[in-house]
Amino acid sequence: MNYLENRKYVIQGIFLLIGALFALRLFYIQVVDSSYKQAAETNAIKTVIQYPFRGLIYDRNGKLLVQNTPVYDLMLIPKEAKNVDTLRLCRLLNLPLEDVRERFRKARAFSYVQPSAFYQKLSTQEFAHIQDNLIDFPGFFINARTARGYPQASLAHALGYIAEISPKQLDDPAYTGYRPGDYIGKSGIELEYEKYLMGSRGVKYKMVNVRGIEKGSFKDGAYDTLSVAGQNLTSSIDLDLQEYGEFLMNGAKGSVVAIEPATGEILAYISAPFYDPSLFTGKDYGKNYMALLTDSNKTLFNRPIMASSNPPGSIFKLAQALVALQDGIITPETGFPCNQSLIKCAHGHPAPSNLALAIKYSCNPYFYQAFRAEVNQGRSRNTYKDTSLGLAHWREQILSMGFGKKLGVDLPNEKKGIIASPGMYDDMYGKNRWKFSTIYSLSIGQGELGVTPLQMANFMAIMANRGYYITPHMIKSIGNSGHPLPQYEEQHHTTIDKKYYEPVIQGMADVVASGTGRNANLEKLGITVCGKTGTAENPQGKDHAVFVAFAPRENPKIAIAVYVENAGFGAQSAAPIAGLMIEKYLTDSVSRKPMEKWVLSRKYLEVE
């Protein structure tokens, strides 16, 4: 009997053993192991990213260029989508059955329990329609976010666009903090100023139940951070001038760049043909992008900064004149015979007895002779070495005028162009195998030269400023600072003394007053325009027309470069466009309607 009674201790021992075992196990999972606490947080606490309002972009007069508009994505959580009336969904979204099935498959492949976009970028009307029917489609919900909107269909190339961040960018340490599905600037100002425009994100911790339905904020929002809206940008663009320029260039191919010389601010930036920036915001973004990418006019080619392989033509004579003056090769009064010895002059003009006349008549032999004297200054007895040394010295000065290097505009993918260098010819012909007769076409802006339209406009700003430039830029103020980025407030001086500009400018004034640039003449309005026409040789087809100018002559307000592809002489197409735009900018009106009509007629494209 007694031995059985002792069994009560065994039984009580078993009870206590299990109780102690449970208490220990609980101590482990509740106190020691913290992974369950994290799991509970991931379970019940949803991190909601608060997307900041992307910064807006205004023109220089406060007109809105880029705004934010709401778009709606139809999201799906496959786990919760039960008994979906697929046919009705097809009707609602106006999609074929196959497409809807494919979207379901994709959503499930992404995640069974996580939401993903079933249909992106519903229009406001589609949204309203679907919203009413959504109650019959469990697992579907609408996610509102903002997309870029453009009050005017202008300036697409400069503004750029935003799109979903690419997988490659996500892997790039430069983009840490971005998450899949985030929108990011892909080109233009949107890309260049991404860090200012995007603002900073906030995080909200929401408590959710097992079905992911929000149940209020976690700890009354003690851990939440607010999103900070991106900074608004003020562009230097004058929207009126921009739109007028696009109006004039519509149907043509080419570039127009206008700069305020004193500040380097870009007033107009046209790459023709252009496109409506809103093509890249809707749900057909991919389709539209491919269409533009593959079209024969190379619409997406950002001409003002990327068209760098075309030689500048006669406008380069202005730079040649400045270098020659600086090096004492010529004086303003120097004359050369228009002997047409090696290089022809098509203009059939009086003898260029001084520099201004040479410029006015764009006399090829004059600049040929000046350039020979510039390059072959007798630095070496060996003519090859002499040419090489001379070219190197010349190049240094040309580069100081912003040619042959990236100016550093606040747009991506700027090209630097080409300025002939001794090394380049050494590679082509071999060291000491080339001399002046090899390179003489540089004298008139042909040959191994490539200048972007932006560099041309910048060169005009140098002329207008008589010796320096401020790097051209699109954004004149970040936020309310009133200042651009610091590099856009520095003056860059050329190697040419200030006093040498006036004689060249005189020639430019003459070009417009009574030379090839007469189509840009605004003397009737009391505005002296200083300009230079040019024709860039085009081995592939009809030559490109160039006209560069600044105005007024004293205290200049605008420097402009117009480049019209396949339009022949600059005088016929580029000069009128420049003249009209200068007038528009300086007087806010256009008096020369016949000229405008001529430009719009595009007749210049047919003139041989």
Where on the chain is the footprint of other proteins (CB under 8 A)?
A: 1, 4-5, 7-8, 10-12, 14-16, 18-19, 21-23, 25-27, 29-31, 33, 35-37, 39-41, 43-45, 112-113, 207-211, 215-216
37 or 498: whose CB is closer to other proteins? 37
Give CB contacts under 8 A, 24+ apart, made by 81-87. Answer: 81/137, 81/138, 81/139, 81/140, 82/138, 82/139, 84/137, 84/139, 85/136, 85/137
CB of 174 to other proteins, least distance (A): 36
Q: Check: CB of residue 520 under 8 Å from CB of residue 529.
A: yes
CB of 220 to other proteins, least distance (A): 13
**Closer to other proteins by Cβ: residue 206 or 592:** 206
Residue 269's DSSP bridge partners are 257
- DSSP notation for 111-162: -SSS-EEEEEEE-HHHHHHHHHHGGGSTTEEEEEEEEEE-SSS--HHHH--E
Beta bridge partners of 559: 259, 550
In the bound complex, what is the minimum distance in angstroms from residue 308's beta carbon to other proteins? 57
User: CB-wise, 27 or 110, nearer to other proteins?
Assistant: 27
- Minimal distance, residue 10 CB to other proteins, in Å: 8
CB of 113 to other proteins, least distance (A): 7
| Smallest separation (angstroms) from other proteins to the CB of 112 | 8
Nearer to other proteins, 37 or 195 (CB): 37
CA neighbor of 561 nearest in space, from 464, 484, 494, 479: 464
Identity of the residue, 17 or 600, whose beta carbon is nearer to other proteins in the bound complex: 17
**In this structure, what DSSP letter does residue 28 have?**
I
Select 31 or 346, whichever has its Cβ closest to other proteins: 31
Q: How far is the CB of 17 from other proteins (least distance, A)?
A: 10
Nearest to 545 by CA among 366, 297, 314: 314
Which residues contact residue 302 at a Cβ distance below 8 angstroms, ignoring those fewer than 6 apart? 157, 187, 271, 411, 413
Q: Which is nearer to other proteins, 23 or 97 (CB)?
A: 23
What minimum distance in Å lies between the beta carbon of 3 and other proteins? 9
Q: Which is nearer to other proteins, 30 or 514 (CB)?
A: 30
Which residues, at least 6 apart from 381, have a Cβ–Cβ distance to it below 8 Å? none
CB-based contacts of 99: which residues, under 8 Å, 6+ apart? 90
Whether residue 304 has a cis bond before it, omega within 30° of 0: no
Residue 144 token pair: 């509102």
